[in-house]
């Protein structure tokens, strides 16, 4: 369903066959939540090839490959599907790629012969699936672009055998029961008592026609106008327009198109042609989703919000599109827009239709809190204690560290955990707010999405550090649709740490939304900073649709690259003002730290100039990438804010935030983090799994904390937890004196850094009854990322 959490997808399941129609972002997380196993997927059918329909496909292919079943999957889609596959090859291993089948004409799906898959020819034994190509109205076939084509899928189940009438068999002298089975299998038999041959038609009722389901993705009004005149559907209409004797009864029509299209008069008129069908409006935007798709995550977030609303504001559940559930019941009696997991039963015939037995009761926050109070009565006192943490007077209005020269000694070591760095003096709440949109590793789970960190600079704009699948959905859950759109609209840049899928697959969805939001508005392309392989993927993907972005290699934003850029622009007198910045960010940097590419490309130099202007407008002096130990071209990043001047003219150094990306503990991260106000460091494994952390180039919890302590970072925030720890990781209390654990949708204001470590004991109280490994998850596959 098209909710805040997922894009429309349809799952057609038989006992031994499984089909998925469209694989939008959030599909895996939805299936994990609802215990739908994806390990036996046979076919993935795409109505269109765009970010809305394929955002979850890369992660799904990687998961299937990890289960060992990837090579058996066939993907179907319009002729531009091959462009998507070519793009995904930039970061998906060869063993995870599957068979692709391009749909170039209307008719039954047929597997290309060169795949040499003997089993695939009979792989449609339960259902016949036909494709009908839909293009915009008034466009000549020769002028139709592949991106304009949408595929309608018609699914016709095989007819069921008629009922065997035993009384008729008895009357015809059939006594041997094995002959009953032969008759039901369509074979004629000799009567045991009479000198006659008994045929199946003598004892079997009329066969029952197989159910018919049509899946329609009508993206624009122009497509809707063409839909009304599509002759390939004539045999499926049940009104007077069907004159053929071969008319088939359609039982269900699933509409994936947007509300603005499916609510139009001509679309409604077309729907009326299926007078006997039930219609499911899967693409509708619901006004208020009382039953969130990801209930497990919503329940935990509600509990966290009760304990500490300062860090866990209540999720937004409102949509800006005023399409209420009642608005979906137009003209036809059997039209449904559902805010639960809709289940349409096709077999057995006696249960044919929409299954309403799985409609859950609304998930009310009050009910979750009542459950929490019964489970942990001490939580009432804990909530009061947490609230008092924010009421304590802080010393942030007075610098606790000796400060001599704002241009040189910005990063004096923190004296102890109760001291406050100079950059927090007179800090304002509208300076910086960090929201963790995903804090898990490898693949989405019920409780933690994959990595993404949103930096809200308020009136100065925003940034994204990493952008895993589902980032947009998480923004919507945290800020609502309008707030999420504003966040995307005002992005200054996006920075990606490395090419692994759990860190960048959500980027395309963000870029296409920004493109659409700013259409017709003067603006510059969004700057995306990332590894070179990401550029290969984005360049290849832009053959599918424009992403309205400019790419800058991480290596172009290292210390040495910035120094080279500044030297080349010495005539603009930038070298003097920035050299101190580099010294303050990275003192005594190593050779690996200075990894860079020559700034001899005119385009790169121009883009660095624009990046500098963008950052300055956002109140940042620089964004500096540094190499880390994980995979080729893996980076961490430093964000350094501009200095401020207080009311008496005193210069206050800007804050520094460091994000490690995925890495082993390394000197580069320590050097980058010296004197940082915040170090966000990955902590994929618990301390007892150091061997696995070394093997996969990740860090344990203690290793991450040790990096922050070595760098004298003021606060250490741990993230990127293994999905082995779905709710809270294993913690060493002795090393948590200046450390905090990140949760999905957790929002940290820079003015609240002083209280973060004090919240940890209360978080442990909240999860004291939880198991470290959630046994309700049937299977967790962690890719070697």
Cβ atoms of 336 and 784 within 8 Å: the answer is no
Residue that wins the pLDDT comparison between 597 and 19: 19
Q: How far is CA 561 from CA 521, 566, 608, in A?
A: 33, 9, 10
Residue that wins the pLDDT comparison between 163 and 584: 163
Secondary structure (H, E, C), 389-410: HCCCCCCCCCCCCCCCCCCCCC
pLDDT digits (tens, 9 = 90+) for 411-434: 433 334 457 889 998 899 999 999
Residue 190 — φ and ψ, nearest 5°? -85, 140
DSSP state of 685: B
d(CA 48, CA 3) in angstroms, rounded, equals: 19
Residue 336 — φ and ψ, nearest 5°? -130, 135
How many percent of the chain have pLDDT more than 70? 80
H or E element, residue 664 = none
pLDDT digits (tens, 9 = 90+) for 642-667: 999 887 888 999 999 999 999 999 99
H or E element, residue 739 = strand 739-741
Residue 44 has pLDDT above 80, yes or no: yes
Q: What is the mean pLDDT of residues 676-700?
A: 94
The pair of structure tokens assigned to 82 is 């091959």
> In order of start, what are the domains of the chain with their CATH numbers?
10-160+208-287+322-360 (3.60.15.10), 166-203 (no CATH), 368-391+429-766 (3.60.15.10)
Residue 604 has pLDDT above 90, yes or no: no
**Buried/exposed code over 191-206 (b: 16+ C-beta within 10 A; e: otherwise):** beeeeeebebebbbee
| pLDDT at res. 590 | 53
Residue that wins the pLDDT comparison between 580 and 591: 591
DSSP E strands, 374-525: 433-438, 452-456, 462-467, 491-495
Residue that wins the pLDDT comparison between 8 and 383: 383
d(CA 685, CA 700) in angstroms, rounded, equals: 5
| pLDDT at res. 94 | 74
Q: Is the dihedral of CA 255, 256, 261, 266 positive or negative?
A: negative
Residue 129 has pLDDT above 70, yes or no: yes
| pLDDT at res. 35 | 84
Residue 785 has pLDDT above 50, yes or no: no
Residue 315 CA, chain-centre distance (Å), reads 17
Residue 319 has pLDDT above 50, yes or no: no
d(CA 170, CA 152) in angstroms, rounded, equals: 48
d(CA 503, CA 549) in angstroms, rounded, equals: 18
Confidence of residue 248 (pLDDT cuts 50, 70, 90): confident
CB atoms within 10 A of CB 597: 16
Among 194-203, 382-391, 544-553, 560-569, the least confident range: 560-569
Residue that wins the pLDDT comparison between 774 and 131: 131
pLDDT digits (tens, 9 = 90+) for 493-540: 999 999 999 999 999 999 999 999 999 999 999 999 999 999 999 999
Residue 281 CA, chain-centre distance (Å), reads 22
Q: Would you say the pTM of this structure is higher than 0.75?
A: yes
- Looking at every residue in the chain, the average pLDDT score rounds to 83
Residue that wins the pLDDT comparison between 572 and 138: 138
Residue 157 — φ and ψ, nearest 5°? -75, 150
Q: How far is CA 132 from CA 104, 170, 177, 232, 495, in A?
A: 10, 48, 46, 7, 41
Cβ atoms of 426 and 396 within 8 Å: the answer is yes
């Amino acid at each position: 369903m098209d909710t805040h959490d997922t894009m429309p997808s349809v799952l057609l399941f038989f006992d031994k066959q499984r089909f998925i129609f469209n694989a939008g972002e959030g599909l895996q997380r939805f299936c994990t939540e609802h215990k739908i196993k994806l390990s036996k997927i046979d076919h993935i059918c795409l109505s269109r090839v765009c970010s809305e329909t394929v955002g979850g496909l890369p992660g799904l292919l990687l998961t299937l490959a990890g289960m060992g079943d990837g090579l058996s999957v066939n993907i179907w889609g319009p002729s531009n599907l091959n462009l998507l596959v070519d793009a995904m090859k930039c970061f998906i291993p060869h063993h995870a790629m599957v068979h692709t089948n391009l749909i170039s004409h209307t008719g039954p799906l047929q597997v290309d012969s060169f795949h040499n898959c003997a089993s695939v020819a009979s792989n449609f034994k339960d259902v016949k699936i036909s494709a009908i190509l839909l293009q915009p109205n008034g466009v000549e076939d020769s002028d139709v672009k592949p991106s304009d084509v949408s595929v309608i899928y018609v699914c016709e189940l095989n007819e069921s055998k008629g009922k065997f009438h035993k009384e008729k068999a008895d009357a015809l002298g059939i006594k041997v029961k094995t002959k009953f089975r032969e008759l039901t299998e369509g074979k004629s038999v000799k009567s045991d008592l009479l000198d006659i041959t008994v045929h199946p038609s003598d004892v079997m009722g009329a066969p029952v026609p197989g159910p018919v389901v049509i899946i329609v993705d009508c993206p624009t009004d122009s497509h809707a106008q063409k839909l009304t005149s599509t002759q390939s559907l004539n045999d499926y209409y049940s009104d007077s327009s069907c004159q053929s004797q071969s008319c088939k009864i359609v039982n269900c029509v699933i509409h994936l198109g947007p509300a603005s299209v499916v609510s139009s008069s001509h679309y409604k008129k077309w729907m009326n042609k299926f007078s006997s069908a039930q219609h499911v409006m899967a693409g509708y935007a619901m006004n208020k989703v009382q039953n969130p798709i990801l209930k497990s995550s919503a329940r935990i977030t509600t509990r966290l919000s009760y304990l500490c609303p300062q860090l866990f504001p209540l999720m937004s559940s409102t949509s800006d599109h005023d399409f209420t559930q009642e608005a979906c019941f137009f003209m036809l009696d059997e039209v449904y827009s559902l805010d639960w997991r809709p289940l349409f039963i096709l077999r057995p015939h006696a249960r044919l239709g929409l299954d309403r037995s799985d409609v859950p009761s609304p998930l009310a926050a009050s009910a979750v809190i009542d459950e929490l109070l019964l489970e942990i009565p001490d939580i009432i006192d804990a909530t009061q204690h947490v609230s008092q943490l924010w009421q304590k007077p802080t010393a942030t209005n007075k610098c606790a560290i000796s400060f001599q020269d704002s241009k040189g000694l910005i990063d004096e070591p923190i004296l102890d955990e109760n001291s406050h760095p100079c950059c927090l003096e007179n800090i304002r709440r509208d300076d910086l707010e960090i929201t963790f949109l995903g804090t898990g590793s490898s693949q989405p789970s019920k409780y933690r999405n994959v990595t993404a960190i949103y930096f809200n600079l308020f009136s100065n704009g925003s940034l994204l550090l990493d952008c895993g699948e589902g980032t947009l959905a998480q923004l919507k859950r945290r800020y609502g649709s309008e707030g999420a759109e504003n966040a995307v609209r005002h992005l200054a840049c996006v920075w990606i740490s490395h090419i692994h899928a759990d860190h960048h697959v959500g980027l395309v969805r963000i870029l296409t939304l920004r493109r659409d939001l700013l259409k017709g508005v003067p603006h510059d392309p969004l700057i995306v900073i990332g590894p070179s392989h990401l550029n290969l993927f984005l360049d290849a993907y832009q053959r599918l649709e424009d992403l309205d972005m400019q790419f800058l290699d991480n290596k172009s934003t290292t210390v040495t690259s910035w120094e080279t850029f500044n030297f080349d622009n010495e005539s603009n007198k930038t070298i003097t003002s920035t050299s101190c910045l580099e010294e303050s960010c990275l003192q005594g940097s190593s050779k690996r730290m200075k990894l860079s590419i020559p700034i001899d490309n005119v385009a790169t130099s121009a883009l660095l100039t624009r990046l500098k202007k963008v950052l300055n407008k956002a109140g940042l002096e620089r964004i500096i990438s540094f190499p880390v130990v994980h995979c080729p071209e893996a980076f961490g990043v430093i964000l350094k804010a501009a200095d401020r001047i207080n009311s008496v003219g005193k210069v206050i150094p800007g804050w520094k935030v460091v994000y490690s990306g995925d890495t082993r503990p390394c000197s580069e991260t320590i050097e980058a983090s010296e004197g940082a106000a915040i170090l966000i460091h990955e902590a994929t494994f618990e301390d007892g799994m150091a061997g696995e952390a070394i093997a996969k180039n990740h860090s344990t919890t203690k290793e991450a904390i040790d990096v922050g302590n070595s760098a004298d970072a003021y606060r250490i925030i741990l993230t990127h937890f293994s999905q082995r720890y779905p709710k809270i990781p294993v913690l060493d209390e002795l090393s948590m004196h200046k450390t905090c654990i990140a949760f999905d949708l957790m929002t940290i204001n820079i003015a609240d850094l002083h209280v973060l470590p004090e919240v940890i004991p209360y978080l442990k109280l909240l999860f004291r009854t939880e198991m470290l490994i959630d046994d309700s998850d049937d299977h967790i596959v962690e890719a070697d990322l």
